Amino acid sequence: MRKISEFEMPDLIPARMLNEFTYCPRLCYIEWVEGEFEDNADTVDGRFQHRRVDQSQGVVPNPEEVADFTARSVDISAHEIGIVCRLDLIEGKDGHVIPVEYKRGYVPKIEGGAYESDKVQLCAQGLALKENGYECNEGLIYFVKSKQKVQITFNELLVNRTKQLINNLRLMIASEKIPSPLVESSRCVRCSLAGICLPDEINFLKNPENRNEEIPQVRKFLPPRDDQIPLYVTGYGQTVRKKGERLEVWSNRDKTGEVKIRELSQISLYGSADITSPAFTEILQRNIPINYFSYGGWFYGFSQGNSHKNVELRIKQFAFAEDKKRSLKLAQMFVYGKILNSRTILRRNDGEVSDEILKSLKKLASDAKSSNSLQTLLGIEGGAAQIYFSRFNNLLKSDDSWYSFENRNRRPPKDPVNTVLSYLYGVMVKEFFVTLNTTGFDPYLGFYHQPRYGRPALALDMMEEFRSIIADSVTFTLFNNGELSERDFISRGLGVTLTPTGKKAVLRGYERRISTEVKHPLFGYKVSYRRIFEVQARLLSRVLHGEIDVYPPFLTR
């Protein structure tokens, strides 16, 4: 384990983090050490309720000059006890001071009228005031919705408990090990980080005996789908401009579309499509990723604001990639998932597929899990892909000859089916690139795909298990449903490319597919494919953290 140095240990612990640690040590670790945060309705409402006390007001007198006064949003630090805090409100009276902590909800119906986490946070504020020379023996918690104050006395029991928790928090940081998730705790229900923490999922995977249960008791804390929408801008001469709280898409002098900025999840610019400086700055400030593609759909890169702080995960990722045995173990599971999902696609959609082919794919998947080198694994994956694509024409149900499929080819693709496959693989690389980046990974360092200049190797790793069930499925569905016609393709030299109309049809099919809610085969709840991408990335991070031993690929049934 990497030893944490004194320089890395923070001198001062925010009292707010002490509150989080008391509530759930894992929550504190994720938010403070890993730098991850996600809003929910409670946190947004909390900021709204706090807006008045967040505005600095009033002056705090010297300790020896305390008389009647009030001050809001006061910063104070105490190096001896190791606490830094921002006091919502401080009141002075008769020579002593009282910190007042604002909470958004109602007075809880429990003994003492306040949760331990809130009492500890308030007590830490009181200790900080005492260390700075102020007389402070009690504080108040003001519950906004109840409009009631609860008095908290800083007695010996609470003071000792607060000091003990400060010490425990420091030990947690020094251990560099994320605490285990709570078990079947009601605290997880209202936690905004439950979708990052995955408490029930991790507990389930840490206890292999539970995997024999057909329907595990895993609660769903992730929203089923992402309500924000992506913006795709294709075609020559398209420009994205900002107007108020909206983005507008213009083609020369004509407006071709608009979207509310707050509803955007990401922007994808294809070919010569561009974005004005005011729009670009606004999007960066809102931490919305902008993806850049070639006209043909090759992913060039992306722009994003200064967002993710999870350097610990990237350190572990680089250490893992240096370890050939551990990298191979991950690569095996990526390929294992890819082969089994390809087999399922054939079993579902190819009525003439033989048992021998299905058995061959199943054996190759098993061989992938026991392969002894990356080169062997590459050979196994190549063999499985050859078998799979030899049956791909059977997934295309029409008798039309203009899009028949013979074999997989690319750079450039030589027929319409390969053109759509290549285009969708490029879109999926972008999808995983953004997902991995927002979950704290370096998308360029993989475990199966090896580093190469400009290659998003980890994004390519993670999409392996989804190629057949997303990109391939969208491809044969579009052709089978007649959503693509011969007019949607152009032959240029040795290759075939999509027209702007054809690209829009492909992107519609892709968005429809990844927004589809499916039952997670391991956890039993329904969730969209786009959310599953995020879940798989977070499960990979838990393997790197050592919380679970084996990466579980998403295996469709």
Q: Which of 55-59, 88-92, 203-207, 545-549 has the lowest mean pLDDT?
A: 55-59
Helix-then-strand count for the chain, H and E: 17, 18
pLDDT category, 53, cuts 50, 70, 90? Answer: low
pLDDT category, 308, cuts 50, 70, 90? Answer: low
Is the four-CA dihedral 100, 103, 106, 107 of positive or negative sign? negative
Average pLDDT over residues 175-180: 88
Res. 144: pLDDT tops 70 = yes
Distance CA 256, CA 250 (A): 6
Average pLDDT over residues 119-126: 95
**Cβ neighbours for 538, distance < 8 A, ≥ 6 positions apart:** 196, 198, 439
What does each C-alpha distance from 291 to 302, 428, 429 come to in angstroms?
Answer: 4, 12, 11
Q: The tokens of 14 are what?
A: 């925010």
Give yes or no for a cis peptide into 413 (omega within 30° of 0): no
Res. 175: pLDDT tops 60 = yes
More confident residue, 300 or 168: 168
Q: Under a CB-based contact definition with an 8 Å cutoff, are residues 126 and 88 in contact? A: no
Q: The tokens of 22 are what?
A: 């008391």
More confident residue, 25 or 268: 25
What angle do the packed helices 199-206 and 529-544 form, to 10 degrees?
60
Average pLDDT over residues 248-254: 85
| Percent over 90 (pLDDT), the chain | 44
Closest CA to 426 of 385, 390, 456: 456
Predicted local distance difference test score (pLDDT) of residue 1: 43
Predicted local distance difference test score (pLDDT) of residue 215: 47
Q: Among all chains, which residue has been given the structure tokens 């350097």?
A: 311
Distance CA 553, CA 414 (A): 32
Average pLDDT, the chain: 86
Predicted local distance difference test score (pLDDT) of residue 411: 78
Distance CA 243, CA 265 (A): 18
Q: Which of 3-7, 354-358, 397-401 has the lowest mean pLDDT?
A: 3-7
Average pLDDT over residues 40-51: 70
User: Residues at the annotated binding site for Mn(2+)?
Assistant: 381, 449, 464
What does each C-alpha distance from 551 to 188, 439, 465 come to in angstroms?
Answer: 24, 16, 12
Average pLDDT over residues 209-228: 61
Q: Is 489 helix (H, G, I), strand (E, B) or coil?
A: strand
Is the four-CA dihedral 100, 103, 104, 110 of positive or negative sign? negative
User: Residues at the annotated binding site?
Assistant: 381, 449, 464
| Percent over 70 (pLDDT), the chain | 92
Average pLDDT over residues 490-517: 88
How many degrees, rounded to 5, is the angle at CA 365 between CA 363 and CA 369? 115
